[in-house]
């Protein structure tokens, strides 16, 4: 069981002097990760637009006129071609997203083939497909899916102001189904959606206090898309964004904290602060589903200037780690019970 973080403890971290907070976050980061390595993923929209949900930030919702053209589920070979390209630019994980409420039975064979094909390339796999029941989660796990992304988005208290077509409990239930199927969890949120500071506290509290925190925690800055209800919101103070990264690092010391959506509008200096605050994962590629993202070449140049290198990961490495863990657990199970003797009176 993880540490049960209280709201006042998390609030106190947010209220630390900026340098003190970053020093603490960097200290935690160095205790669990190589400080100059960043995990690199690529995200592809495998089915775009016409989503029935009403998430106020999302250009893929069918309820908003954002000029986005809807597209059907991509063919397997199209996806694998994009995965090969991602690998060639240095990505070690390939994430596939579909704008659905939930995947239908008819879609599952194609999704499973995508997972198997991407893994054969030596890449880790991640999908975000909306809500999952236990049966579909198990089917994706059996196909070899490594991670499933399902963000909480914000605090439970503010959630109803952002989304009405699915509940917070729905999201937690999907994450529980993912865990039960044996997959790793990718779950985070979006800041800059008009929430209050207490909502950023509430979001991180929900994530950190899960029985097992997400292995991957994306922290997104709202990308304000014309046509969505959040197009005209005021910008969040960039220092508050860095604070959110730093507090996430302290609360979830062994998770990869991903500097995710919104990087296109961030200066190199702001991104460098985020890396110092404990962010150690990004998305490569010019698109994050439908919104702009820095091109891989620009990220490579920034990495070179900062002395950062991509973290080396592969499904083969992951299999070795899982096998080693299984051997350790087997040895522990076979070990004789310790004998205790009472001292002579």
Q: Give catalytic residue positions.
A: 51, 55, 58, 95, 126, 186, 258
| Secondary structure tally for the chain: helices H, strands E | 12, 12
d(CA 174, CA 197): 26
| Cα angle value 208/271/40 (rounded, 5°) | 70
Check the CA dihedral 99-188-166-67 and report its sign.
Answer: negative
Residue 340, token pair as written in the block: 């205790």
Q: Which residue has the tokens 């995947």?
A: 103
Closest CA to 227 of 68, 18, 41: 68
Q: Residue 289 in contact with residue 60, Cβ under 8 Å?
A: yes
Q: Residue 282 burial by CB count (10 A; 0-12/13-18/19+): exposed, middle or buried?
A: buried
Please report the DSSP string for 221-240 in residue order.
EP---TTSTTTTPPPPPHHH
For residue 45, give the 3-state DSSP assignment: strand
Please report the DSSP string for 84-149 in residue order.
HHHHHTT-SEEEEEE--SS--GGGHHHHHHHHHHHHHTT-EEEEE-S---HHHHHHHHHHT--EEE
Closest CA to 41 of 144, 147, 142, 139: 147
d(CA 169, CA 14): 26
Q: Which residue has the tokens 């508050």?
A: 240
């Amino acid at each position: 069981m993880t540490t049960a973080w209280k709201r006042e403890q998390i609030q106190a971290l947010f209220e630390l002097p900026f340098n003190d907070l970053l020093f603490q976050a960097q200290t935690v980061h160095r205790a669990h990760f190589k400080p100059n390595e960043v995990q690199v993923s690529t995200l592809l929209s495998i089915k775009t637009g016409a989503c029935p949900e009403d998430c106020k930030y999302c250009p893929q919702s069918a309820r908003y006129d954002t000029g986005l053209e809807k597209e059907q589920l991509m063919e397997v070979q199209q996806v694998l071609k994009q995965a090969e390209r991602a690998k060639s630019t240095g990505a070690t994980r390939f994430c596939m997203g579909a704008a659905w409420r939930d995947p239908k039975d008819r879609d599952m064979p194609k999704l499973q083939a995508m997972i198997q094909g991407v893994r054969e390339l030596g890449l880790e796999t991640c999908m975000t497909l909306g809500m999952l029941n236990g049966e579909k989660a198990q089917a994706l796990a059996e196909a070899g899916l490594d991670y499933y992304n399902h963000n909480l988005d914000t605090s439970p208290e503010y959630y109803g102001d952002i989304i009405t077509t699915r509940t917070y409990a729905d999201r937690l239930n999907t994450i529980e189904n993912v865990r039960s199927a044996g997959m790793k969890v990718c779950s985070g949120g979006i800041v800059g959606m008009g929430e209050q500071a207490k909502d950023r506290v509430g979001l991180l509290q929900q994530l950190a206090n899960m029985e097992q925190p997400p292995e991957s925690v994306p922290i997104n800055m709202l990308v304000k898309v014309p046509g969505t209800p959040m197009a005209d919101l005021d910008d969040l103070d960039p220092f508050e964004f860095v604070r959110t990264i730093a507090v996430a690092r302290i609360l979830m010391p062994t998770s990869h904290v991903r500097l995710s959506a919104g990087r296109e509008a961030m200066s190199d200096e702001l991104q460098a602060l985020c890396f110092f605050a404990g962010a150690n994962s990004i998305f490569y590629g010019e698109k994050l589903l439908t919104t702009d993202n820095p091109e891989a070449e620009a990220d490579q140049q920034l990495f070179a200037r900062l002395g950062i290198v991509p973290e080396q990961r592969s499904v083969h490495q992951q299999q070795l780690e899982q096998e080693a863990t299984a051997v350790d657990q087997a040895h522990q199970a076979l070990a004789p019970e310790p004998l205790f003797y009472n001292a002579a009176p």
